[in-house]
Amino acid sequence: MAEANISDLIEQYLKEILSQDDFAEIKRSEIASRFAVVPSQINYVINTRFTLQNGYVVESKRGGGGYIRIEHVDLVDDTKIFDELIDYIGDSIGENNAGQIITALLNDKVVSEREANLMAAAIDKNSLRISDKVSENTVRARVLVGMVNRLRFESTNTHG
Amino acid sequence: MAEANISDLIEQYLKEILSQDDFAEIKRSEIASRFAVVPSQINYVINTRFTLQNGYVVESKRGGGGYIRIEHVDLVDDTKIFDELIDYIGDSIGENNAGQIITALLNDKVVSEREANLMAAAIDKNSLRISDKVSENTVRARVLVGMVNRLRFESTNTHG
DNA sequence: ATAATAATAGTCAGGAATGGTCAAATAATG
DNA sequence: CATTATTTGACCATTCCTGACTATTATTAT
């Protein structure tokens, strides 16, 4: 039970808000000055304590009237499966293995056929083709185009 | 909901009109003075919130009796718009624009909320982060992990 | 007709108000 | 001592708002 660092306090404060409202919409500079820390520490707290794995979705906007919104989302029942899957995937995975995972998710009815198709489109070799100077945006575009194209078809099996 | 921006209010106002009529035909200066902003802010609102990737088509005329007409286009049954969207994506697209497209697809019920979340996970900045020596398999892994993580959650809106 | 004028809308660049990233310094922990 | 977590600050990116200047269209005067 060691503690009392400021990040923990900020975490507590935000979770307090979340225990009452569906989401916490804050102004970064406001929270920073409330706790007398630099604004970027708010990002640190969010990045380390309000991650997807922990069940939080964060969205933000800059500029005038900017904000950071933290939302808590419900976990599905058996989250262990996903943890194992993610462990298995690790840092790198080939197209075949990835396709098998998607097929397994489909077989177990974790995802619908449409959803499986979307996932297959996203990880398709063509979508992810990387050359030296390719940018993040370029890859993203390919991924998105692949997925959008997939939506044209009602239901088609494409992975495996 | 912190709706502090005038631009947000103008956006709301226009969408209000669009929820009742097929299109919103406005006089720029009239809207500008109604919200006490300079006329060009109306262009700003339109350019940032009523773009093709948002699912809107805008046309206008200058001079006496000039107007701006905003029309909502439905992606469900408009194959041509679909093609234009893919054209728009092109070879490279940023996270925000990509997110807007996904939101538009969701709004027009082309995809379900779950599907939209999957797509958002696929194009997420973290999934697609590219460094020099990253391989295709590495990116694929990140994409897939991102999507699987998204499946943990029941149903939540995440893009915007 | 043509030219001038009025009435629109469009573009662009800049300033202000946010939030984001990254790496260095420091503290805590094993 | 080594590793990990926290804290900080310099620098970056995005969003909003404004105003000067430009472009287009309609109307009016000649």
Is the pLDDT assigned to residue A156 strictly greater than 50? no
pLDDT for B62 equals 95
DSSP string, B45-100: HHHHHSSGGGTEEEEEE-STT-EEEEEE--SSS-HHHHHHHHHHHTT---HHHHHH
The stretch A101-125 carries a mean pLDDT of: 91
**Domain termination residue (choose one: B28, B48, B72):** B72
User: How many whole angstroms separate alpha carbon B160 and alpha carbon B156?
Assistant: 12
Q: Is B27 helix (H, G, I), strand (E, B) or coil?
A: coil
- The CA-CA-CA angle for residues A62, A22, A75, to 5°, reads 105
| pLDDT surpasses 50 at A1 | no
Residues A51 and A19 in one domain: yes
> Same domain for A145 and A87?
yes
Span A136-153, mean pLDDT? Answer: 75
CATH number of the domain encompassing residue B10:
3.30.56.130
Q: Which of A79, A123, A68 is closest to A101 using CA atoms? A: A123
The answer as to whether B156 is a domain residue is no
A8 touches strand D (CB under 7 A): yes
Q: Average pLDDT, whole number, for chain A?
A: 86
- Give the span between the Cα atoms of A2 and A16, in whole angstroms: 20
Name the DSSP class of A75. B
A45 in a structural domain: yes
Contact of A95 with chain B, judged by CB distance below 8 Å, is answered with: yes
Specify whether B84 is located in the same domain as B147: yes
Domain boundary among A49, A72, A95: A72
Q: List, for residues A119-142, the tens digit of each pLDDT value.
A: 999 988 888 887 766 677 778 877
Mean pLDDT on A85-92:
83
Is position A59 within any domain?
yes
| Interface-testing mutation among B84, B87, B103, B123, with chain A (most A C-beta atoms within 10 A) | B123
If you measure CA to CA, which chain B residue comes closest to A146?
A: B86
Upper half-sphere CA count for residue A74 (Cβ side, 13 Å)? 4
What pLDDT sits at residue A159? 43
Instruction: Please name which of A35, A96, A45, A94 lies closest in space to residue A70, comparing C-alpha atoms.
Output: A45
**B70 CB-to-strand C distance under 7 Å:** no
For residue B40, what are the domain limits?
6-72
Task: Evaluate whether residue B45 is within a structural domain.
Answer: yes
Confidence bin at B158 (pLDDT 50/70/90): very low
pLDDT of residue B86: 83
Rounded average pLDDT over B92-120: 90
Q: Tell me the CB-side half-sphere exposure of residue B68, using CA atoms within 13 A.
A: 21
